[in-house]
Structure 1
């Protein structure tokens, strides 16, 4: 989705998933509330990558490949092999029970945006979120003030902003040390006779080079260990083993969607 208010507002920022982010205010949103939703993550069902903060690398690595993408080397969790397909979230909005849910997803429908005029962060809410309604069960405001629900959301977004800044510093460190290199995720299909077919590239991304990491001076490696960066790097590297699982999941889903032989 795109930010439909971007051309009419000084607010800016990364708003993946947010169809209609609006600065939260008592004037505009006093009557709004949130209704409980049994499977609330339908908005993620068509996202094949989701941003991560660096402190999420270890828990996310148990479920997804954790890679770096784009000019900014944004760390993301890979949830599908194709755009528009998420192998971990059903169309109804349910994450697989074993899947880690990134903080980027959990903060929805709230998000901080940059106010470029006043040079500050503004808490916004996605007015197009399906579970935000007039008279919703959990109000956004009570007695003219942010409700406990909204206060909790504000605290979560504040913490997320701190983690986002920590992530930017981590990526800057990797860049300065020239540890990132271009990698490919490749699938080798099997021919009908059992022999290996031609390899197929399914993704190109940035990852830490183990050779460059090993080549760092011992003092620099010790610094990375002591500031926690080395642990996050290894979590990222271990997560790359998840490409095979992701490929297997994609093939299983494709096979399940095919009509059974003889049922045509």
Structure 2
């Protein structure tokens, strides 16, 4: 990925088209879309000081979202290659210069040096996304603070041998969640976090499909004897 700040002079002829698929093995998700993404994707938490909620798309690359995919596409994928970044005291729209979505024709971003309606709408979409992304990060931080996240990994058995396909993520521990105090559970319910936990846990039923896709399209390399 090569991030670049969008500039009306430097990128006057830049155009965007949406007919490309994600390449990353996981992508961020925001709270409002999680109930819908949970139908087709596995939603987990990253293991880091400030955890994020992400949808797993594969082991080393995306193996789920393609021309035959029928589920909800996360907003981060729909927005790509554009994203907001803090540049000094201002927030600027940036883009991935390597993205296929800006190679060739498509929607113009500028006309006569000024933003097109498409770009103006994109700015509003990105601002709204940034706000929802921050709220989702706050929710993830609250789950971590409550001590209910547990590290997990995805393994598969093939020909009598077990293989670790994915690790470095965590999920809500049902037992620890149920043992939270009534006060904490009420607070989580009021803030919509219990609903978020429910859909996250429901999404874990998609692990089998994800594992099957990984073994089919991006299996781990067997260690040399």
Does the pair score TM above 0.5? Answer: yes
When residues 152 and 213 of structure 1 are mapped into structure 2, their CA distance, relative to the original with a 3 A threshold, is same
Q: Which runs of 5+ in 1 are unaligned?
A: 2-18, 192-196, 256-264
Q: Distance in 2 between matches of 1:102 and 1:229?
A: 19
- C-alpha contact (below 8 Å) 1:111/1:157 kept by paired residues: yes
Match of 1:63 in 2: 40
Give runs of ≥4 in structure 1 deviating > 6 Å: none
Q: Distance in 2 between matches of 1:158 and 1:216?
A: 34
Q: Which runs of 5+ in 2 are unaligned?
A: 220-225
Residues 1:104 and 2:76 are matched in the alignment: yes
- C-alpha contact (below 8 Å) 1:51/1:104 kept by paired residues: yes
Q: Secondary structure at the match of 2:123?
A: helix
- C-alpha contact (below 8 Å) 2:47/2:151 kept by paired residues: no
When residues 246 and 126 of structure 1 are mapped into structure 2, their CA distance, relative to the original with a 3 A threshold, is closer
Q: Secondary structure at the match of 2:100?
A: coil
When residues 133 and 198 of structure 1 are mapped into structure 2, their CA distance, relative to the original with a 3 A threshold, is closer
- Residue 157 of structure 1 and its aligned partner are, at CA, apart by 0.8
Aligned residues: 217
Match of 1:6 in 2: none
When residues 162 and 127 of structure 1 are mapped into structure 2, their CA distance, relative to the original with a 3 A threshold, is same
- C-alpha contact (below 8 Å) 2:165/2:211 kept by paired residues: no
TM-score, structure 1 length as denominator?
Answer: 0.73
Deviations 1:5-38 (A, max 9, x none): xxxxxxxxxxxxxx3x32222222223333x46x
- C-alpha contact (below 8 Å) 1:73/1:206 kept by paired residues: no
User: RMSD across aligned C-alpha pairs, in angstroms?
Assistant: 2.4
Q: Distance in 1 between matches of 2:102 and 2:153?
A: 41
Deviations 1:110-141 (A, max 9, x none): 211121xx23311123344334368x453212
Structure index of larger Rg: 1
Higher relative contact order (CA 8 A, sep 6+): 2
- C-alpha contact (below 8 Å) 1:88/1:99 kept by paired residues: no
Q: Distance in 2 between matches of 1:254 and 1:104?
A: 23
